[in-house]
Amino acid sequence: MYSKQTTVINRSGLHARPASEFVIAAKTFESKITVCNISDGETVNAKSISRILAQGMTQGTKIEIAAEGVDEQQAVDQLVEIVDSGFGE
């Protein structure tokens, strides 16, 4: 298992468009990928748009992205990079 922590930086958080972008990217990997909202400890499947949206991750939310599988490091690094980019907002 490989994981990294980051913070949601875009003003509108993970609303529909960035959440969709995140999930589409997550689905390109074979590994099982999860996102944990560090403040409440709830972990959800990173490949589920409904679970990501239900987390209500707003600007400033600290998250941990974790993956387990053959491409785990690449998956986590790419997803952290997407979050760190602010989803182009």
Full residue range of the structural domain in which residue 42 is found: 2-88
pLDDT at position 88 is 77
Per-residue model confidence as pLDDT tens digits over 29-75: 999 999 999 999 999 999 999 999 999 999 999 999 999 999 999 99
- Cβ-in-10-Å burial (0-12, 13-18, 19+) of 9 comes to middle
> For the chain, how many structural domains are there in total?
1
Contacts of 59 (CB under 8 A, 6+ apart): 8, 9, 10, 11, 12, 13
Per-residue model confidence as pLDDT tens digits over 69-85: 999 999 999 999 999 99
Question: Catalytic annotation on 15?
Answer: yes
Global pTM value? 0.95
CATH number where 72 lies = 3.30.1340.10
Mean pLDDT score across all residues of the chain: 95
Query: Of 2, 3, 10, 15, which residue is the catalytic one?
Result: 15
